Structure 1
Amino acid sequence: MGRLDGKIAIVTGAGSGLGKAISESFASEGAKVVVTDVNAESAESVATAIGANAMALHQDVADVQRWQAVFEETEKAFGTPHILVNNAGLVIPATIEDCTLEQFRLTNSIMLEGVFLGCQTAVRAMKAQEELCSIINLSSMAALQGYSPFLAYAAAKGGVRSMTKSVALHCKEQNYPIRCNSLHPAGIDTPMVRQAAVGAEGDPTPETGMIPLGGLGHTNDVAELCVYLASDASRFMTAGEYPVDNGTLYQPN
């Protein structure tokens, strides 16, 4: 029996990287998964590989109408979702001195406004559920430490951190069966981190074994925690922030 048997999940930015790994892990634990991405072809590839328990949908997370459509299409195909993972994102290298307003707004439209729209749509849909529900927001270590080379990214992730707690407390105050938590990964071995803008180098991260301080994590290091937070086993956990950082927060240098 899987830890997510009977659950229905939506994962954004799931055409590659963390979203792909999370979708695959959810499906392996028994969930039906809606794989969404602005790159429809990538989303379709992931859903096809998972099989009958997955469906791909195109989604620009900054588009409020598309959020409503994604939830409606999910309900028609599988039922009302129990799980939402807000994962979609991008990285634009720019400091406080050279970040343009357009770059700042673009980054925040996807990674902060997009998470707001996802949480709002999910709460409205999930609040009548009889089963426990879970919203998982991908923040970053940048929200806990700051990250000067990527100002807009750090600002957006900081907003996600505090918004997560507000969403969680609202759901508790209203007695909704919804928990909301944030994850704060350090560098994870994904295409976004490997891109030239971020500059990660070296061999791919192995799935098992110790990782040296400063090394990249594996996507499954995050996906496995997502499975736990999505499952009813974590029913007493809400408004939490969980570093997935190999100790980086306490030994940053």
Structure 2
Amino acid sequence: MGRLDGRVALISGGARGQGEAEARLFVAEGASVVIGDVLDEEGRKVAESLGAAARYVHLDVTQPEHWSAAVGVAVKEFGKLDALVNNAGIARYGALRDFPLADYLKVVQVNQVGVFLGMKAVVEAMSAAGGGTIVNISSAGGLAGVTGTTAYCATKFAVRGMTKVAAIELGPLGIRVNSVHPGGVDTPMNDQAADIDLDFSEDPNKKLPLGRIGRPEEVADMVLFLTSGESSYSTGSEFVLDGGMLAGPLF
């Protein structure tokens, strides 16, 4: 038996990176998944590779109607929706004093407003299913500041706060809501960090207690735990996987 047998999940940003790893793991553990993304070609390929247990939908997380359509696909194709992974996110890097307002607002729209719209969109379907789980992907940057990431950290702190409010409000409906806080993870978005104008003489991940960057599959494992019954008494909580980044001063 799989750890998610009979579950139906919607995963935003599921075309690559962490979202793809989550979709593949969920299907392997018995779930049906709706993969949402704006990367249509990549998303369709992932869904096709997963067979009958997966569907792809074009999902711009800043658009309420896209969320409604994605939830509709889950219910129509698989009969219900009882899990959401708010995984979609973007990053823009730069020093505070030079950071363009337009870039700041774009990050807010995707990372913060997108999570708000996603949670709002699934409440009715999850209630009809008798409850469910929401996992919001925040960041270690939602727990501590990171140089060059004003907009990103602001939104990830917001995700942390929204998660707690949603857990309080949705708990009586049988819906658990938790946030996941990865450190650096080896994904395309992490590659953008090279644009930050900082003088690293070596890979900063080597300074972590675990001495390496994280893997998408490790994030997927945590999300699986929070979506499964194994975390049945956890809600409104923060789950950190950062290789020890936040344990204390590293140098």
Normalised by the length of structure 2, the TM-score is 0.92
Aligned to 1:164: 163
Aligned to 1:150: 149
Offset of 1:167 from its aligned partner? Answer: 0.2
For 1:134 and 1:27, how far apart are their aligned partners in 2? Answer: 16
Task: Report the AA paired with residue 250 of structure 1.
Answer: A
Residue ranges of structure 1 left out of the alignment (5+ in a row): 203-210
Offset of 1:21 from its aligned partner? Answer: 0.2
Provide, for residues 25-51 of structure 1, a one-character-per-residue CA deviation record: whole Å limited to 9, x for no partner.
000000001111111111101111111
Large movers: runs of 4+ above 2 Å: 194-202, 211-214
The secondary structure found in structure 1 opposite 2:103 is: helix
The secondary structure found in structure 2 opposite 1:61 is: coil
Task: Report the AA paired with residue 165 of structure 1.
Answer: K
Offset of 1:212 from its aligned partner? Answer: 5.4
Task: Report the AA paired with residue 94 of structure 1.
Answer: G
Identity between Structure 1 and Structure 2 (%): 39
For 2:51 and 2:186, how far apart are their aligned partners in 1? Answer: 25
| Aligned 1:12-27 pairs, distance under 5 A | 12-27=12-27
Provide, for residues 8-27 of structure 1, a one-character-per-residue CA deviation record: whole Å limited to 9, x for no partner.
00000011100000000000
Match of 2:182 among 180, 185, 189: 185
Aligned to 1:97: 97
Report if aligned partners of 1:94, 1:152 keep a CA contact under 8 Å in 2.
no
Residue ranges of structure 2 left out of the alignment (5+ in a row): none
For 1:225 and 1:105, how far apart are their aligned partners in 2? Answer: 29
Offset of 1:79 from its aligned partner? Answer: 1.8
Residue 234 (1) aligns with residue 236 (2): no
Q: Judging changes above 3 Å, is the alpha-carbon distance between structure 1 residues 252 and 216 closer, same or farther for their aligned structure 2 residues?
A: farther
Offset of 1:125 from its aligned partner? Answer: 2.0
Task: Report the AA paired with residue 222 of structure 2.
Answer: L
Offset of 1:123 from its aligned partner? Answer: 1.6
Q: Judging changes above 3 Å, is the alpha-carbon distance between structure 1 residues 214 and 106 closer, same or farther for their aligned structure 2 residues?
A: farther
Q: CA RMSD in A?
A: 1.7
Offset of 1:95 from its aligned partner? Answer: 2.3
Offset of 1:198 from its aligned partner? Answer: 6.1
Task: Report the AA paired with residue 144 of structure 1.
Answer: L
| Aligned 1:108-127 pairs, distance under 5 A | 108-127=108-127
Offset of 1:127 from its aligned partner? Answer: 1.7
Aligned to 2:34: 34
Aligned to 2:75: 75
Offset of 1:178 from its aligned partner? Answer: 0.4
Q: When you count helix as a share of all residues, which structure comes out higher?
A: 2
Residue 11 (1) aligns with residue 11 (2): yes
For 2:85 and 2:195, how far apart are their aligned partners in 1? Answer: 25
Report if aligned partners of 1:129, 1:177 keep a CA contact under 8 Å in 2.
no
For 1:252 and 1:102, how far apart are their aligned partners in 2? Answer: 33
Aligned to 1:206: none
The secondary structure found in structure 2 opposite 1:102 is: helix
Provide, for residues 110-152 of structure 1, a one-character-per-residue CA deviation record: whole Å limited to 9, x for no partner.
000000000011123212322x410000000001111130110
Report if aligned partners of 1:142, 1:154 keep a CA contact under 8 Å in 2.
yes
Task: Report the AA paired with residue 195 of structure 2.
Answer: A
Residue 197 (1) aligns with residue 169 (2): no
Report if aligned partners of 1:96, 1:148 keep a CA contact under 8 Å in 2.
no
> How many matched pairs?
242
